[in-house]
């Protein structure tokens, strides 16, 4: 338990580490420091209390760095492939979206035409029913002129409905 006053270089030599590592260790352990007459930093340290094991030299890390660089290159290539695949999927999505929009427009048009046809059918059925009722209830002499007009009106309605259906 003897306290020694050492420079960073001397501390590093005792612990088999560099002077910079010794300085970092002294800061981390908050060892008391002072300045010598020649301006060098001195550290008060009890070497028996310091349990420091130096890390292996950086040679092993160079191999790891090369492996990591290779992994980064591999991952970048994989990202590029995935981006290309995503772009293809996006194009497929846009095509299908346009197709769906076109089909929806056609469906809405067909629905509107179906509704118009049902309305025309209901109106024409109403006119036919009115014409039949008139034929049954009135006498043949009164009915002839009126029925002919209604029949002409019904024929005109049928022709108009047919023309509308032909436009769509």
pLDDT digits (tens, 9 = 90+) for 125-167: 888 787 777 767 766 665 556 666 767 777 777 777 777 766 6
Residue 8: how many CB atoms within 10 A of its CB? 22
Burial of 43 (0-12, 13-18, 19+ CB in 10 A): buried
* Cβ-defined contacts of 3-10 (< 8 Å, 24+): 3/44, 3/45, 3/46, 4/44, 4/45, 4/46, 4/47, 5/34, 5/42, 5/43, 5/44, 5/45, 6/42, 6/43, 6/45, 7/36, 7/40, 7/41, 7/42, 7/43, 8/41, 8/43
| pLDDT tens, position by position, 21-70 | 889 888 988 888 888 888 888 888 888 787 777 666 655 566 788 889 99
User: Is pLDDT at 77 greater than 90 in this prediction?
Assistant: yes
pLDDT of residue 61: 66
Would you say residue 168 has pLDDT above 60? no
pTM value is: 0.42
**Long-range CB contacts (< 8 A, 24+ apart) of 13-18?**
14/47, 15/50, 15/52, 15/54, 16/54, 17/52, 17/54
- Judged by DSSP in three states, 21 sits in helix
> How many percent of the chain have pLDDT more than 70?
83
What confidence tens digit (pLDDT) does each residue in 94-131 have?
999 999 999 999 999 999 999 988 998 888 888 878 77
DSSP per-residue string spanning 111-133: HHHHHHHHHHHHHHHHHHHHHHH
């Amino acid at each position: 338990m003897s306290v020694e006053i050492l420079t960073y270089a001397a501390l590093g030599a005792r612990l088999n580490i560099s002077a910079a590592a010794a300085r970092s260790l002294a800061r981390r352990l908050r060892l008391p420091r002072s300045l010598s007459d020649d301006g060098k930093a001195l550290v008060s340290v009890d070497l028996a209390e310091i349990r420091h094991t130096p890390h292996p030299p950086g040679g092993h890390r160079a191999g790891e760095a090369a492996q990591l660089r290779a992994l980064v290159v591999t991952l970048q290539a994989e990202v590029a492939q995935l981006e290309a695949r995503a772009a293809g999927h996006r194009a497929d999505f846009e095509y299908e979206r346009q197709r769906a929009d076109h089909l929806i427009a056609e469906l809405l048009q067909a629905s509107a035409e179906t509704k118009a046809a049902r309305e025309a059918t209901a109106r024409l059925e109403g006119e036919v029913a009115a014409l039949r009722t008139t034929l049954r209830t009135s006498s043949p002499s009164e009915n002839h002129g009126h029925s002919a007009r209604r029949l002409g009106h019904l024929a005109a309605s049928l022709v108009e409905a047919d023309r509308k259906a032909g436009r769509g």
